[in-house]
Structure formats: structure tokens, C-alpha cells
Amino acid sequence: MTTGHNSTLADVLERCRPVPPASPNILKTLLAVQSALGHIPMSGILQIAQVLGVTDAQVAGVLSYYSDLRTQPTGRHLIRACMGESCMANHSARVLRAIQDYLCPAAGDASQAERFTVDTMSCAGNCAMSPTVMIDEHLCGRVTPSDVPSLLEAQVLRRKTEGGRPKAED
Amino acid sequence: MSKNSQRNVPSHLVPQASGPPSAMTVTINSHRITADPGDTIYQAAKKAGIVIPSLCASDHLNPFGSCRLCLCEIEGQSGTPATCTTPVREGLVVQTDTKRLQRLRRNIVELYLSEQPAAGPVPEALQRLAVSSGVHAVRYQNPARRQAYCDDSNPFFVFDNAACVSCARCVRACDEIQGTFALTMFGRGFEARPAAGSSQLSAVSDQPSARGFASSNCVSCGACVKECPTGALTEKTVLEEGVPTETVRTTCAYCGVGCAFDAGVRDGRLVQMLPADDGPSNQGHACMKGRFGWTYNDAPDRLRVPLLRRGKDWEEISWESALDRVAQEFTRIKDEDGPDALATISSSRGTNEENYLFAKFMRCVIGTNHIDNCARVCHSATVTGMMETLGASAATNSIEDVDYAKLILVVGANPTESHPVVGARIKQAHRRGVPLIVIDPRRTELARLADLHLQLRPGTNVALLNAMGHVLVKERLLDQAFIAARAEGIEDWITSVSDCTPEAAEAITGVPAHLIAQAARRYATSGASLCCHGLGVTEHRWGSHGVIALCNLALATGNIGRPGTGINPLRGQNNVQGASDMGCLPTYFAGYQSLDDPKLAALHQAITGRPLPTKRGMKTPDMWDAAIAGRLKGLWIIGYDVAQTDPNLKKVHEALKQVEFLVVQDLFLNETAKFAHLVLPGASFLEKDGTFTNLERRIQRIRKAVEPPNGILPDWRVVCDVSQRMDYPMPYRHPSEIMDEIATLAPMFAGVSYERLDQPAGLQWPVPAATHEGTALMHRETFPKGKAHFVGVEYLPPGEAASRDYPFVLTTGRILQHYNCGSQTRRTDILELVDTDVLEMHRTDMAALRLCDGEIVRLVSARGQALLPVVASERVLPGHLFTSFHFPASTVNELLSSSADESSKCPEYKVSAVRVEPIERDELDPEDEAELQRMRVRLIA
């Protein structure tokens, strides 16, 4: 773990330190850490537990329950295909394959892994517009495999031109 | 809380105002039953003997409702709620076994079975459910099966995920009963399963200590294992040797809590120790030592035959010649040098009956009061201090009063490690919202949780407690009505605290004045403040003054003689209370009766046929002086390793060398036995009958579960046989006859008999008559001497202070994993967890001395030195050091002085001035080097 990274974790945790009589909020703290660092580093679990005054098991319980909480770093863009019942019935598996095909033409391209992480999710609550794809915070409904290239280009490119994220290479 | 309502609350503890809650009538499966308000349908049915299938419900845990087997139909209500989470209501009509419920239950059992791995046996509990609910086959073609995962990293038990049903009883037991929160439900959905710590998050490690239970903060109390309904968590001894075929109810022989256990025996061997649900002091809970630390009983180096010294070697001799030898030598010394040349140190680990017999042997056969027990080195200051103020020297209240207290004050005690079952109960109370105040130089587990932690300098208890008294007087927080009616000498006390301002105390103790004042106010105004204290109060130069200062506070605020209050010393050993009760004291006869009482003398003569010696005997430290001076020629020490555990060991060793004839009776060849002329093997608590008295004065039975190896005699038989040889027959056939004799001689045990002790609750003394139910709460109406006495005490500094040459203050004490001299726990798998004493030091001191975790340092005091690995600890303040004394190799007690409490001679274990020196690697000889290699240093969180 780098020093800079560590101090960020310490800063976030300082803001989450429970002030009696308030009880510690593990979920809120984990979300705050993830939002600051992009993920929750495994090496930080004991530190998180100590600041909150809980045990590492309690932190692990919350962390393992919510699939939105990640212990591994993700790419700069998180693209998730919904695999809920409604999306599944509307062929979201094909959409997922289209995303993977589009984003991973050359296997082992490290720069791609830094840019994109492709994952599934259980239900985005967007069943009326199945199948659903979430690109970062953006919800996209009625996605067909053939929509995928333009959708990804539009989402990622548009935000680049708008300067939505301060990453020049996007 | 519903847990309270489940307990049988004795009538005297039910608050007067609320009155008994009215019962309600419920109909379950056409049976009209009476239910208590607050019960769930499941609990009410269980009490009425109606069985509802369930996996996740437990009497010890809050309702959870995860297994869905205990479903019911309620008249006038739709759906099928779980009975274990549905409270009873007046007139409720419930069905638990309709066709519809049977079908639902069958489907649920089928789902459980479908999760089972394809290969391997189905857990017995599920097999029984399958049979009773009529599931013959699983219809699912491709079910989600449980992950193959096994955690055997704990030395005592195994978790096998294949047998688990994810009911979370283990997780809830860890949270609700033990309060350690070492377990969690990991993952979700089909994958959810219990896991210890957080190591599950990362890749599986090959290092056993880095995974599962071993990597977590688990304290191996075994609550999860006991709660597991399917055997997914099972003791390793049971897996290796099989389930017990019979059980014997007995009482644990470690600390003073007195947990009731069912000893599980198979083929004449002990295979399991299971805490008993109807155990009055533990209510089904236990700690690592009692639950798993019993395998020393089969240790290969148990003493099996008497050993006679032949120069440097031991000769195995027969019991006959060993007993002859004791009788001959004791007779010879008595004839040549008189009775005062002989002494006995009895065992606080032995039974009441054995302790009484040793005292009787000294008084009737030898004719002296030179008998002591190891209460001398722990709570003798409590005996002195409580006798002076309250007139009786035992816990005023019971362990269950922790549940009735509105504030708990813990002074100089670390119950979560030294009395873990009481510690867990205090944590439960604290989680219910009961405020906790801890006065301790160390940041112990309870101190971390406490509302107020007064982290005082070691040895300054009296200054702090007097300052609390000062605040009470100044802010008019005294309970005037109680003081007027029940106590005298208040003026003396008020005068003694008049100058003790919190500001003055801050200078002495280092505790901020406002915290002292706040603690005093909260203690006085809670409504019911319960105080428990430990050796942090007594083992000081002015230990009895500390106890007196505590009693003064309780008297001044009326926190005594009521439920949830009192002064409660946490006694350290299983029968240290009993050993003193039975008269193994140089100053009192059994039942704390005065040695010069003429009525007692007459009764003693009539019953024993011998006069009661009236001259006070020697206390243990006096015995060392007498031995060195050549006045003490013969000494008999039973189950007490003085050569490791007494302070100023060099002096103790010198004294033991001087004794002409030293008999040591023990389970093992301990450090003291190495000085002995004759060593007698002892029978363990699992191998004999008798009684122990716990820290709440409760006399409980121990029962023989297994045969002693090699025909070893229990201690009481040894005394009888030696006595017989010295022309004083003791024709007892069973310990119960000894207890009958005690009952005739000591009024406070008059109503005690083995017949009455057969009930699980035992009897709490005083029991003045056969019809008396025992005393859960002392001093309700009057004190033994009528009124209690305030005794003003002044703060005086400890025997030693940090100086330029010895800049650190060292405190010694126990840790959770080991027990006192360690002769038992070091012979169990507990050694896998902790295999050395360590020195705890504050991080800033470590940095100043350039020390790293695990480095070996030399501790030097004016008396001696010791080598210990050092670790950084958040538990001690800068300038303060802590270590345990469980391993003879550490020779910690060589560092300590002979400084002791003025009146009780309780040694000052808690304050020694020392310095810390780094050692060079080449100073170590190869043996030390090898030992260091083997040692794994316990790192403190």
C-alpha cells in the first residue's frame, strides 16, 4: 500500500469515526471508503474495524453481503449488465456478450483493464425497460446487442467531450 | 428484555413496584396452556411440553426466525408465521401441525437436504427431521450445494460447512452470549455461511494461524459449538474419541465463578466438558479453560506413584510406605521440636472437605494453628477489609445481581480474562445499556467498553476512592437514611476524606478530577450500583485499605443489602472461598469463628475429642521467615506451587531448602515439588467427590467422572490415613460425612448436607438451618455485628516507586488463556494459542528504548531479573509494564519484593519498580536460543 493511499484511507476513516453516543455505521463507512478510493482495500479491513470500534468479522460480514462493495480496484468505467429475471428473459446474456466482445478485442491488453470493468448485477429495478445496462451511474434500458457499440461510444465519448471525468485519455 | 423473563428470578430480586406480571391463556394444538407475557409461542409451547420442530431457536438467544421450521397457523390470521418470533397474546389459538404446515415443513426440510454435498453423511439432526417430516428423496435435479469448506484452525473445535444450515446460531451466540463478535454470516444467498474474522475475504492461506478462527479475535469459549444444532461445529475430542455415552454433573475447577459442567465420558475416558444450562452461576456458558482446558488430566507426566527423594534422584515407593513416612517424620518433629515446628499450606483448588480435614489434622493431630491457604496471596486483604467494615468477608450479592444492577463499577479486576463468564455477563448488561465504570491502570476489554475509565497509576486506589467519597460528602450525595439505620462511624470517615479533593487525587492518581467527580455522582445516584473488585485492589502494600475505602463508598451511598448492589470480590480460584471458609487460616476456625471462643472450644472438644489450639498460627510469609530461622522443620504443601507463584522467589526457595521434611502433594512434579523430600500424587477434581464454594458463596458438588490413574488416593483419604497412623483415627467413608461434621461445628453451614446439595443450584452460605434456603443476598436487614462500620483510611504510597535506576512500574496478572502457575493449562492445547509470558509496554517507551515487537528483554529489579519477550500494547500507560506469570521459565516472581499489606500480608504483586535492558544475542545460551525459536509471541490488539 502506498503512503498516499494510506493517508486517504485514514482521512476517510477519521470522518467516519463514531462520536458517542452514535453507534458505528459499517455500511456508510465502507461506501465512503469505496467512493474515495474506488474500492475497499483488503489491507484496510483491520484499520476500518479499529476506527469504528467493531471487529473485522463484522466488517467482513457487511462487505461480503453487498455485491456493490468491491475489494478489488475496478477500471475507470464500470459497465454492468443486469441479470435479474426480467432482463434475463429479455436476453441480457446476449447483451453482456456483446459488451465483452466490443471492449475486449485484444485479450491481455492491460490498458483496457484499467479503463473498463465489465460485471453483472442482480436487479437494477428497471424491469419495465429490460434488458438494462448500467454504465457507471447511468441507467440504460431496452438495450439490444446491436446497440452496444454506439451506446458505449456515446456514454464514454460524450462524457469525455463534456469533461465529465478528469481523465484525459478517455 | 425477553432473556430476563426466561430466567427464574428469585422472589427477593423481583422489583417490588411492578408486581408479578399476569399470565395469559393460549391454546396450542387444542391444549390450553398458561404462558408468561413476553414469551414467544415457541417458548410457551416448550414450557408446556409441546414440541415444535426448529433448528435456529435457542433458550439462550433472542428470537431470530431463520430456519422456518417452527411455522404455525393462528386462528383469525392469514399466513404461517414462525412461532419463535411471534409473541403470545391472550386467547391466541394456534395450530402447529396441520396438513398445510406439514407440507410446508416437508418442503423446507427437502431444501435443506438438497444443499447437502452429494457425497458424505447427512448430519444427524437433518436425518431426524427428514424422518419426522416424511422426506424420502430430494426432487431437485441440480440444486445449489453447500461449498466444501472446513475450518480446523482452532485448537479445540472444527467447523465443517457441509453440515451447516446457516441458521446463524453460532454467530448470535458469539454476539449475544459471549459478546466477542468474532463470527459473521459471510456472503449471501445460497453461499451464506458462518465465518470467523475477515480472512475469508482474501485468498486462502496455508498458514493455519492466518485463517478462520485462528486469525480472528475468537476467545474459544465454545458457545458457538454448544449452540450449533447440526454438529457443523464439533469439539475435536468428540470427533476423535466419539460422543459421550454418559454424563456426570460437576463444577469447574479453574476460577471462582463455579461454572456447572456435564462431564461427558466414553469408555471410562473424559471426551467433553459441556456447560450446564441449569448451572446457577454460568447458565450454560463457559470459557476456554473450563470448556477445553481439561486434557491435562491425561497428561503423560501426571504423577502416578509417590516419590521419595534419594539425593538428586527420586525413588518410586508404595502408598503404604509413603503414608508411613509422613506419619513418622511428622511425629518425630512434633516430639523433638513441638507442634509449632510443623505447618501446612492447604490448597484453594481442593474441596471443602479436604480443606476442612487438613485444618482438622493440624489442629487435632499436631495441635497448632499453623495452616494457611493461597487466599493469603490474593484476597486476604478483602477478608481483612470486609471483616472490619461489614463483618463478613465474602461477596455480598450473587452473580445474577449483575442483571439487576443499574450501574456496574469494576475496580482493579479484569473479568473478561480472569473470570470470563462473569465478564461476558457484565458485557451483556452493558449492551443492554447499564453504565459501566472501570477503575484500572490498564485499558482492559471492559475499560475500552466502559462509559468511564479511570486509568489511575498503580497503587493509588485509596487516593481515588477517598476522592470519590469527598465528592459524595461535598455534594450531599450520602444516603442519610441508610447510614443512620445501618452504619456507625460516619464522622470518622467524613473527617478522613475531607482533604481528599478530586484535584489532590488527580495529582496522585493521574486521573482528571472531573472524571473522579463524575464517577462518584453516577455511583451514588444510579439507584443500584454493583461493585466488583479483584486483585488490583488487594495485592498492594495497602490492599486492605483499598477494600475498606470501597466498602465505605457502598455504605455511604446505601449500595449494599439490596439486589443489584454490593461489594463483590471476584475470587480467583475455584475454592479459595471455601478453603478460607473451612478454617485453613491461622487466625480463624471454620466459618470464621474466633479461635478463643469458649463455646466453640467446648463444642470442638466434644465432637473431635481434642482441644482447639487458641494461639494464632503463622501466615504463609511468616512460615518462610520461620523456616529460614530454623524454627519450621516440617511443611506439607497441597496443590499450591509456592516456588513459582509466591513473590520474592529467591527467599521462598531459600526457605524451602531449609525445611527438614517437605511433603508436596500435587498432580504434577511442579516447581515446589523439586524441593520436596516426599511427593504424593493427587487426584484431580474429575476423579473425586466433594464440594467447591464459588465467589458468590455457593457450595456446589463435584462428582467423580473418571477413575484416578494408578489407584491414586484423593487428598481427603491421604489425610485420614496419615492421621490414623498418628493415633487419631478419621473413619470417614465418604466426603459427605465430613460435610456433616462441618455442619455441626460451623453455624453458617448448619443446614448444609449432600442431600440438599444434590439440587443444581447448590446452597449459598450462610445456611443456618436445614430448613433455611440459603442466602443469595447478604446484609438485607442487619450486618453480622448489627451495624456496619465506616473506617477512615488514609492514602499511603505503594512500597516501591519508579526511580532513576528502576524507572518502570511492573504489574503482574493473569491472561485469559492460562491459569495461575499454568501447571494445568500448559499441559493442554491452549499452548497452541499462547506459549509464553510476554511483557506489555507502551509504544512510546518501546520507541524510546528502540525495542521491536517480540524482542527479548531483561527485566531487572532490586531482587532479581527475568527474560521476557516485549510487545507494544495499548493496554498500559507509558512508564507502566504488565506481564503474566504462567510460565516458570519467566521467573517473573523473582523480581517481586516481600512487601505486603500490613494487616493481611497479601503481597504487593501489582507494584514493583524495574528497569528494562535489551539483551545481546550472544548472551543467550543455545537452549535459550532454541526456546526463542519455538516461541510464538502473542501480539496484543
Say if B119 is an interface residue toward chain A (CB within 8 Å). no
State the best of B201, B218, B939 to mutate against chain A, taking most chain A CBs within 10 Å. Answer: B201
* For chain B, percent of residues with pLDDT exceeding 70: 95
Among candidates B345, B357, B253, which has minimal Cα distance to B718?
B357
Any domain includes B452: yes
Report pLDDT digits (tens) over B886-912: 888 878 888 888 888 888 888 888 999
B547 and B611 share a domain? no
Extract long-range pairs of A13-20: CB within 8 Å, 24+ residues apart: A13/A47, A13/A48, A13/A51, A14/A51, A16/A51, A16/A52, A17/A51, A17/A52, A18/A52, A18/A53
| Domain total in chain B | 4
Residue A64: its chain B contacts at CB < 8 A? Answer: 184, 186-188, 200-201
Any domain includes B834: yes
Lowest-confidence pick of A125-134, B119-128, B214-223, B511-520: B119-128
* Average pLDDT in chain B: 91
Bridge partners (DSSP) listed for residue B409: B437, B531
> Residue B1 pLDDT > 70, yes or no?
no
Q: B385 vs B388, B819, B938, CA distance in Å?
A: 5, 26, 37
pLDDT for residue A108: 52
Q: What residues have CB less than 8 Å from B713, skipping those under 6 apart?
A: B319, B683, B721
Q: A52 vs A14, A18, B466, B555, B843, CA distance in Å?
A: 10, 6, 36, 39, 21
Among candidates B93, B108, B77, B91, which has minimal Cα distance to B23?
B91
Mean pLDDT of B547-563: 96
How far is the C-alpha of B926 from the C-alpha of A76, rounded, in Å?
A: 57
pLDDT for residue B119: 78
B847 and B922 share a domain? yes
CATH number at residue B911: 2.40.40.20
B540 and B668 share a domain? no
C-beta separation of B644 from B674 below 8 A: no
| Chain B from 777 to 816: CB within 8 A of any A CB | none
Nearest CA in chain B to A23: B431
Check CB contact under 8 Å for A64 and B186: yes
pLDDT for residue B938: 43
Residue A58: its chain B contacts at CB < 8 A? Answer: 181, 184
Q: Which of B521, B554, B569 is the last residue of a domain?
A: B569
Say if B18 is an interface residue toward chain A (CB within 8 Å). no
Which 3 state secondary structure label does DSSP give B270?
strand
Q: What nine digits make up the cell of B156?
A: 479445540
Q: β-strand B661-666 against A116-121: which pairing, if any? A: unpaired
Q: β-strand B436-439 against B452-454: which pairing, if any? A: parallel
How far is the C-alpha of B283 from the C-alpha of B277, rounded, in Å?
A: 5
Report pLDDT digits (tens) over B409-421: 999 999 999 999 9
Task: Give residue B79's domain range.
Answer: 2-97
B588 and B690 share a domain? yes
Say if B831 is an interface residue toward chain A (CB within 8 Å). no
Among candidates B795, B797, B799, which has minimal Cα distance to B906?
B799
CATH number at residue B10: 3.10.20.740
Helix ranges, B668-805 (H): 715-725, 735-745, 754-757
> Residue B939 pLDDT > 70, yes or no?
no
pLDDT for residue A152: 85
pLDDT for residue A113: 67
Say if B219 is an interface residue toward chain A (CB within 8 Å). no
Query: What are the phi and psi torsion angles at A39 (to 5°)?
Result: -160, 175
pLDDT for residue B940: 39
B358 and B329 share a domain? yes
Residue B188: its chain A contacts at CB < 8 A? Answer: 64-65
The whole-angstrom distance between A141's CA and the closest CA on chain B is 27
State the best of B153, B184, B205 to mutate against chain A, taking most chain A CBs within 10 Å. Answer: B184
B403 and B523 share a domain? yes
B328 and B399 share a domain? no
Lowest-confidence pick of A134-138, B366-370, B399-403: A134-138
Helix and strand tally (H, E) in chain B? 32, 37
CATH number at residue B447: 3.40.228.10
Of A49, A55, A71, the CB nearest to B201: A71
B529 and B614 share a domain? no
Check CB contact under 8 Å for B201 and A45: yes
pLDDT for residue B454: 97
Q: Which of B82, B97, B112 is the last residue of a domain?
A: B97
Check CB contact under 8 Å for A60 and B217: no
> Residue B18 pLDDT > 80, yes or no?
no
* For chain A, percent of residues with pLDDT exceeding 70: 82
> Residue B10 pLDDT > 70, yes or no?
no
Check CB contact under 8 Å for B201 and A54: no
Using only C-alpha atoms, chain B has a radius of gyration, in whole angstroms, of 29
Report pLDDT digits (tens) over B54-70: 999 999 999 999 999 99
How far is the C-alpha of B832 from the C-alpha of B769, rounded, in Å?
A: 49
The whole-angstrom distance between B831's CA and the closest CA on chain A is 24
Helix and strand tally (H, E) in chain A? 8, 4
Lowest-confidence pick of A90-94, B146-150, B612-616, B872-876: B146-150
> Residue B83 pLDDT > 90, yes or no?
yes
Among candidates B95, B253, B64, B272, which has minimal Cα distance to B171?
B64
Confidence of residue B928 (pLDDT cuts 50, 70, 90): low
How far is the C-alpha of B80 from the C-alpha of B96, rounded, in Å?
A: 9
Q: Which residue has the higher pLDDT, B9 or B369?
A: B369
For every residue of B571-640, which 3-state class applies, written as one string?
A: CCCCCHHHHHHCCCCCCEEHHHEECCCHHHHHHHHHHHCCCCCCCCCCCHHHHHHHHHCCCCCEEEEECC
Cell 506451587, residue? B641
* For chain B, percent of residues with pLDDT exceeding 90: 80
* Extended beta strands in B729-864, E state: 763-764, 788-789, 808-813, 839-841, 856-860
B591 and B651 share a domain? yes
Which 3 state secondary structure label does DSSP give B845?
helix
C-beta separation of A42 from A71 below 8 A: yes
Q: What residues have CB less than 8 Å from B337, skipping those under 6 apart?
A: B633
Q: Which of B97, B132, B148 is the last residue of a domain?
A: B97
Residue B182: its chain A contacts at CB < 8 A? Answer: 55, 57
Say if B181 is an interface residue toward chain A (CB within 8 Å). yes
> Residue A1 pLDDT > 50, yes or no?
no
B384 and B368 share a domain? no
The whole-angstrom distance between B36's CA and the closest CA on chain A is 33
Query: What are the phi and psi torsion angles at B494 (to 5°)?
Result: -60, -40
Check CB contact under 8 Å for B198 and A54: no
Any domain includes B547: yes
Q: What is the largest CA-CA distance in chain B?
A: 92
Mean pLDDT of B632-639: 95
Q: Which residue has the higher pLDDT, B925 or A25?
A: A25
Any domain includes B870: yes
How far is the C-alpha of B515 from the C-alpha of A155, rounded, in Å?
A: 60
pTM of the complete model: 0.91
Q: Using N-to-C axis directions, what is the helix angle for A45-52 and A3-16, rounded to 10°?
A: 30
Report pLDDT digits (tens) over B191-241: 899 999 998 887 655 566 678 999 999 999 999 999 999 999 999 999 999
B564 and B601 share a domain? no
Q: What nine digits make up the cell of B510?
A: 493521574
Among candidates B374, B60, B456, B10, which has minimal Cα distance to B227?
B60
Confidence of residue B190 (pLDDT cuts 50, 70, 90): confident
Mean pLDDT of B441-445: 95
Report pLDDT digits (tens) over A74-132: 888 888 999 999 999 999 999 999 988 887 655 555 566 677 888 888 888 999 999 99
Mean pLDDT of B569-596: 92
Say if B189 is an interface residue toward chain A (CB within 8 Å). no
pLDDT for residue B398: 95
How far is the C-alpha of B255 from the C-alpha of B222, rounded, in Å?
A: 17
pLDDT for residue B210: 72
Q: What nine digits make up the cell of B542?
A: 495497602
Mean pLDDT of B694-719: 94
pLDDT for residue B761: 92
> Residue A2 pLDDT > 90, yes or no?
no
Q: Which residue has the higher pLDDT, B170 or A166?
A: B170
B555 and B484 share a domain? yes
Mean pLDDT of B629-640: 94
Any domain includes B618: yes
Any domain includes B249: no
Mean pLDDT of B287-301: 94
Any domain includes B917: yes
Q: Is the peptide bond before A21 cis (omega within 30 degrees of 0)?
A: yes
CATH number at residue B720: 3.40.50.740
Check CB contact under 8 Å for A55 and B196: no
Bridge partners (DSSP) listed for residue B881: B810, B841
Say if B200 is an interface residue toward chain A (CB within 8 Å). yes
> Residue B699 pLDDT > 80, yes or no?
yes
Among candidates B526, B546, B522, which has minimal Cα distance to B534?
B546
Confidence of residue B11 (pLDDT cuts 50, 70, 90): very low
ipTM score: 0.87
Any domain includes B210: no
Report pLDDT digits (tens) over B746-794: 999 999 999 999 999 999 999 999 999 999 999 999 999 899 999 999 9
How far is the C-alpha of A163 from the C-alpha of A133, rounded, in Å?
A: 22
